[in-house]
A and B are shown apart, each in its own frame.
Chain A
Amino acid sequence: DVKVTQSSRYLVKRTGEKVFLECVQDMDHENMFWYRQDPGLGLRLIYFSYDVKMKEKGDIPEGYSVSREKKERFSLILESASTNQTSMYLCASRPFGGVDEQFFGPGTRLTVL
């Protein structure tokens, strides 16, 4: 089975801190994604990566950056956390192309105080 893991289930940070959210997948998938999930808004794409060192902006990239140095790992970075970034963050992976679905991690609930 595909496994997508995220470094933390719950995280509390202060405004202005730099925050790293890590995601690792074990199925050699080319594509990886970061979403945030907010009530009533569903899942909104922040960034995705279709290969190592490649990245594309999603719908809401402002305030975020990403890093993909290895195929299995995709990191989301909040350069200076703000209270409006309090949310659930979901990582997903998927093979390149084809008709496969995305496989999701358990999520990280981030609270910025």
Chain B
Amino acid sequence: AQSVSQHNHHVILSEAASLELGCNYSYGGTVNLFWYVQYPGQHLQLLLKYFSGDPLVKGIKGFEAEFIKSKFSFNLRKPSVQWSDTAEYFCAGNTGNQFYFGTGTSLTVIP
């Protein structure tokens, strides 16, 4: 079955620390991959997406993600987090019309 998994459920970092959130997917064929962010009290919004080409994808607010096909991974990274990055982060995969979401990672950044 197609699925997306996020292994970090809750991450706590100090400001300026580096961030890496894991995401793995299980698909046999072509897949589009996304990272969404949900700030407290706000709706989900897209951080970045990958569908083909350069496996290193840059998104908004200094985030990037790398698609590694051999590892079925699409990890999210940011070199230096800020307090305003406190949010919930969701990885998602898409084939056809269906999307599959991970269970989310709650990130807390301590000033």
For chain A, the bracket of interface size reads 20 to 34
Is the pair B97, A31 in contact by a Cβ cutoff of 8 Å? yes
Is the pair A42, B104 in contact by a Cβ cutoff of 8 Å? yes
Is the pair B99, A105 in contact by a Cβ cutoff of 8 Å? no
Bound form: Cα–Cα A50–B98 in Å: 10
Is the pair A96, B103 in contact by a Cβ cutoff of 8 Å? no
B44 part of interface (Cβ distance < 8 Å): yes
Bound form: Cα–Cα A8–B97 in Å: 26
Bound form: Cα–Cα A105–B49 in Å: 19
B7 part of interface (Cβ distance < 8 Å): no
B101 part of interface (Cβ distance < 8 Å): yes
Is the pair A104, B98 in contact by a Cβ cutoff of 8 Å? no
Residue of A33, A40, A50 near B99 (CB, 8 A) is: A33
Is the pair B98, A45 in contact by a Cβ cutoff of 8 Å? yes
The residue on A at minimum CB distance from B35 is: A101
Is the pair B98, A107 in contact by a Cβ cutoff of 8 Å? no
Q: Fill in one digit per residue for A97-113: 1 if any B CB lies within 8 Å of its CB, else 0.
A: 10101101111000000
8 sampled A-B residue pairs with Cβ under 8 A: A35-B101, A42-B104, A90-B44, A97-B97, A99-B51, A101-B34, A102-B92, A104-B43
